[in-house]
Amino acid sequence: MNDQLDPSVHEWAKYERLILFDGVCNWCNAWVTVTIAHDPAGQFKFGTLQSEQAQRILRDLNLSATDYQTFLLLEEGHIYTKSTAALRVIRQLSWWWPLYYLCVLVPAPLCDVVYDFVARHRYRWMGRAATCRVPTSAERERFV
């Protein structure tokens, strides 16, 4: 999915790169930690899919506002989901992470099959928190 976010309707359209993730998913929280660690320039901001603003975006995209099967990457007003979003994020990280961007050569529907498999099993594999992630004081400025 690659939709345009209307800045007159959505206040989060102002962010250059914003990752919206399932705040109670331990798998998702682990990836947020990895992203922060490998984003030394601080180009990514973060928000939870449970937030009011994200819920509005999910409804506008006709995506479930309760059963999160993807995270959203809002990048310069465009919205990306699933494997496309993941690849766009890792391509901008430090260290060896951008090498995974080579997966872009695999057709997106095939990559999304793998993404969907992980999404379906993530709670079973890594568990679920009782509440959304609370950023540390060092991370606070990265969260919206």
**Predicted local confidence at residue 4, as pLDDT:** 73
Instruction: Count the domains in the chain.
Output: 1
For position 37, which CATH number holds? 3.40.30
From first CA to last CA, the distance across the chain in angstroms is 23
Which residues span the domain enclosing 90? 2-142
**Predicted local confidence at residue 109, as pLDDT:** 86
pTM of the full structure: 0.87
Q: Answer for the pair 26, 128: CB distance below 8 angstroms, yes or no.
A: yes
CA distance 13 to 27: 26
Distances (CA, A) of 63 to 40, 81, 112: 31, 11, 16
> What is the H or E stretch that residue 92 is in?
none
Phi, psi of 34 (to 5 degrees): -65, -45
* pLDDT per position as a tens digit, 10-39: 778 788 899 999 999 998 999 999 999 899
